[in-house]
Amino acid sequence: MSKKGIAILGSTGSIGTQALEVIEKYPDFFDLQVITAEKNAELLIEQALKFQPNAVVIGDETKYQHVKEALAKEPIHVYTGAEALCQVVEMTEVHIVLTALVGYAGLKPTLSAIDAKKDIALANKETLVVAGELVTKRAREMGVNIYPVDSEHSAIFQCLTGEFHNPIEKIYLTASGGPFRGFTHEQLKSVSLEQALKHPNWSMGAKITIDSASLMNKGLEVIEAKWLFGLKPEQIDVIVHPQSIVHSLVQFTDGSMKAQMGLPDMKLPIQYALTYPARFQTDFPRFNFMDYPQLTFEQPDRKVFRNLDLAYEAMEMEGTAACVLNAANEIHVAAFLERKISFLQIAEFNEYILKKVENILQPTYEHYVEKDREARDLALQNLGSL
């Protein structure tokens, strides 16, 4: 079996570091070609020295010289800047690109990889949230596969294996409910940053953890699911499942349902995306029903967690609406992480920006870029007036 050349965009983040653990387990199958980071130069250097990729990219150009000098004695090419991300994914030795960048930054290099006919392992949900229509159309035209890495979308994908010819009636994306499950609007007024960062089941980066607490993460996943599986908004439902054992479900037109289950561990969906259609032996901990005698499910409170409804609204609006919502949310989550706004103001300000920015139907790539910038500028302007 020939080795599969891997490029990891965002190797120093939560998904990227776990992907490297997976790759390290199967040296005869994977050939790590590219790793990248935006700012974490020290960890990028450490990873490069250990894994000896063909190339590394440090996004922050002020750190380029440091990385280059640290790797001067190694046979590793060092690049910097956003354009370099788009170029390294086109390397002949790369077969699949794991997009694990956070936020809007994942869109352009993912499109470059698709244009170069590289399969995509997609951990960056914002790529499809921002420009799902454009990305999926381009992937079809280029004959490129997009393998989902998000645990919920991986679960749906696994349930559909062998069923792609059968129509889906509905899918259910499960949500843990985050640290504030069951909270009232009144209780959410006084929650702290520290509370919001304590996810009950998953270990993730700060931005995704806050999105999980506000249910925006689930809203973004709803939009992503629409594009990944060719669904209408009414075919996608969200249910809160605090134990995070059932990762998502598919209901078919005959009423039968399939669920994918397992302990919460992102290495499994990462590995499945990189090895599909094969399943490789792992030493991951196994699920035991006796450890979870009760699996419970409940409806999310969309009035309290307004971000989830905003995502459905943006999906119904189509065009650039989801791009605008994502841009606004990135700015407002950053402001919350910097203690500039309250937890509830994230959704409040997201709604303001979504309504304020004009929606463009059937957008081009340039329209997405324009509306992303407009939404961010307006959000920052609004924050500046507080």
pLDDT band at 203 (very low <50, low <70, confident <90, very high): low
What is the pTM for the complete model shown? 0.91
Return the structure tokens found at 253: 């037109």
Q: pLDDT above 70 covers what percent of the chain?
A: 99
Q: pLDDT above 90 covers what percent of the chain?
A: 92
Residue with tokens 């980071």: 37
CB 60 within 8 A of CB 41: yes
Q: Which of 324, 313, 314, 336 is nearest to 383 (CA)?
A: 336
Question: DSSP states of 58-85 as a string?
Answer: ES-GGGHHHHHHHTTTSS-EEEESHHHH
CB 267 within 8 A of CB 284: yes
Give the pLDDT confidence score for residue 202 in this predicted structure.
65
Task: Summarize pLDDT for 244-292 with one digit per residue, the tens.
Answer: 999 999 999 999 999 999 999 999 999 999 999 999 999 999 999 999 9
Q: Can you tell me the distance from the alpha carbon of 201 to that of 178, in angstroms, rounded to the nearest whole number?
A: 8
CB 142 within 8 A of CB 117: yes
In words, the CATH class of domain 318-386 is: mainly alpha
Whether the per-residue pLDDT at 336 is higher than 90: the answer is: yes
Q: Which of 372, 273, 364 is nearest to 8 (CA)?
A: 273
Give the pLDDT confidence score for residue 200 in this predicted structure.
72
Whether the per-residue pLDDT at 305 is higher than 80: the answer is: yes
Q: CATH 3.40.50.720 occupies which residues in the chain? A: 4-148
Give the pLDDT confidence score for residue 104 in this predicted structure.
82
Mean pLDDT of 76-80: 97
For the segment(s) 4-148, the CATH number from 3.30.70.260, 3.40.30.10, 3.40.50.1360, 3.40.50.720 is 3.40.50.720
Whether the per-residue pLDDT at 79 is higher than 80: the answer is: yes
Give the pLDDT confidence score for residue 258 in this predicted structure.
98
Q: Which of 202, 367, 201, 227 is nearest to 311 (CA)?
A: 227
Task: Summarize pLDDT for 169-190 with one digit per residue, the tens.
Answer: 999 999 999 899 999 999 999 9
Across 48-62, 66-80, 191-205, 306-320, least confident range = 191-205
Q: Can you tell me the distance from the alpha carbon of 154 to that of 273, in angstroms, rounded to the nearest whole number?
A: 8
Mean pLDDT of 23-28: 96
Give the pLDDT confidence score for residue 1 in this predicted structure.
58
Across 106-115, 195-204, 240-249, 257-266, least confident range = 195-204
Q: CATH 1.10.1740.10 occupies which residues in the chain? A: 318-386
- Judge if the upstream peptide bond of residue 179 is cis by omega within 30 degrees of 0: no
Other CB atoms within a 10 A radius of the CB of residue 355 amount to 12
Give the helix ranges, DSSP H, for the chain. Answer: 14-25, 41-51, 64-70, 82-88, 107-115, 126-142, 151-160, 185-188, 193-196, 206-214, 216-229, 267-275, 306-317, 321-337, 343-356, 365-384
Q: Which of 8, 18, 3, 12 is nearest to 266 (CA)?
A: 18
Whether the per-residue pLDDT at 233 is higher than 80: the answer is: yes
Residue partners of 26: CB distance under 8 A and separation at least 6: 275, 280
Q: Can you tell me the distance from the alpha carbon of 202 to that of 210, in angstroms, rounded to the nearest whole number?
A: 12
